[in-house]
Chains A and B, each alone.
Chain A
Amino acid sequence: MAKIKSLEDLKKLKDEVQAKIKLREKGDNPENLIQIKVSMATCGIASGAKDTMNYLIEELDHQGIDALVTQTGCMGFCYAEPTIELNMPCKEPVIYGFVDKTKAQEIIDKHIKLNELVDGIIPVNYKTIDE
């Protein structure tokens, strides 16, 4: 039987990864990073936000795109779950609704790679004077 991975093994892997990270650290800057927030409250989870999030993480890693995928609370678009907020560097954030795996793939292929907007954007066009 193969040995079960433990925290000890994790420490070994850490050293490997650390060496790699140092190499490209200079180019890394949070403002240049693509950020995706997946809405994960009851409404999102019930509509499959977890699958969407896992798919985004795996696909972006697979394609070698550096992006930070995090979860966030309910954005108030419960009718359009799963919703994601896509933050491209130096651009206004864009919110997409009904993001299943197919839609997620389309967003990666078109929006993230080619910078073309995809159908399914929820407009956030009202801003108060205070903002």
Chain B
Amino acid sequence: MNELALHILDLAQNSIRAKAKLVHIKLTEKPADDEYLIEISDDGEGMSEEQVAKANDPFFTSRTTRKVGLGLPLIQQNAEATAGNFQLSSEKNTGTHLKVKFGFHHIDRPILGDMTSTLLILATNEQQTDFLYTHQTPKGDFQLDTREVKKSLGDIPLSNPQIRKFIMDMIQENLEQIQISD
């Protein structure tokens, strides 16, 4: 996967599968400290200590449809290739917290990519999981709370084409305001 947005889409699906009510996705860009942080926290089922220990083993998964689980190992590899690191902590029935650090200026750091459609795809998930997205760069902050969006929409679904287009533009424009690199 060559975009951070794809990793986020992938890992946030884990939270949806863990029946989380709210998932907080936090991106912090700190070029001065040479850091690009991605944090994903959820209030889902959580994992046992044993599962946490095995989570970055590519041949471990809680799924039954296949025998490999590559989501976490892939982002760990990408992060470590940019002199970053990877921390996963989880508590059963409380939630999971994932923190991945990339080297901001490292040539191997993937670009953020199409975060807009990642957020839209996540927001229209089947489990009705809500997302809080925070993005911080030296130029400013952007925050999107799908609970607020749903509240302003009432009973109109997010998947309505006109609404979808509007939210897409809204996220795009806001992200462009705080963009410092591609």
Interface string of A68-111 (1 = CB under 8 A from B): 11111111101000000000000000000000000000000000
Asked if A45 meets B169 with Cβ closer than 8 Å, knowing A14-B154, A50-B118, the reply is no
Of B37-45, B87-95, B157-165, the segment with at least 4 beta carbons within 8 Å of chain A is B157-165
Find B121's partner among A11, A17, A71 (CB 8 Å cutoff).
Answer: A71
Tell me whether A45 and B1 are in contact (CB under 8 A). Answer: yes
Chain B residues near A61: list those with CB within 8 A. Answer: 161
Tell me whether A74 and B66 are in contact (CB under 8 A). Answer: yes
Tell me whether A4 and B121 are in contact (CB under 8 A). Answer: no
Tell me whether A45 and B149 are in contact (CB under 8 A). Answer: no
Tell me whether A5 and B173 are in contact (CB under 8 A). Answer: yes
Chain A residues near B126: list those with CB within 8 A. Answer: 70-72
Tell me whether B164 and A57 are in contact (CB under 8 A). Answer: yes
Find B149's partner among A7, A17, A68, A69 (CB 8 Å cutoff).
Answer: A7
> Quick one: closest B residue to A11, CB to CB?
B152
B126 CB, min distance to chain A CBs, angstroms: 6
Per the bound structure, the CA–CA distance linking A42 and B17 in Å amounts to 13
Chain B residues near A125: list those with CB within 8 A. Answer: none
Tell me whether B170 and A17 are in contact (CB under 8 A). Answer: no
Chain B residues near A17: list those with CB within 8 A. Answer: 156, 160, 162-163
Asked if A13 meets B162 with Cβ closer than 8 Å, knowing A7-B152, A40-B9, the reply is yes
Interface string of B1-43 (1 = CB under 8 A from A): 1000010011001000100000000000000000000000000
Tell me whether A42 and B74 are in contact (CB under 8 A). Answer: yes
Find B148's partner among A7, A21, A74, A75 (CB 8 Å cutoff).
Answer: A7
B167 at the A interface (CB under 8 A): yes
Give me 15 A-to-B residue pairs in the complex whose CB atoms sit less than 8 angstroms apart, sorted by A's number.
Answer: A5-B169, A10-B163, A10-B166, A11-B152, A16-B162, A17-B156, A18-B154, A41-B10, A41-B13, A42-B71, A43-B70, A45-B10, A70-B124, A73-B63, A74-B63
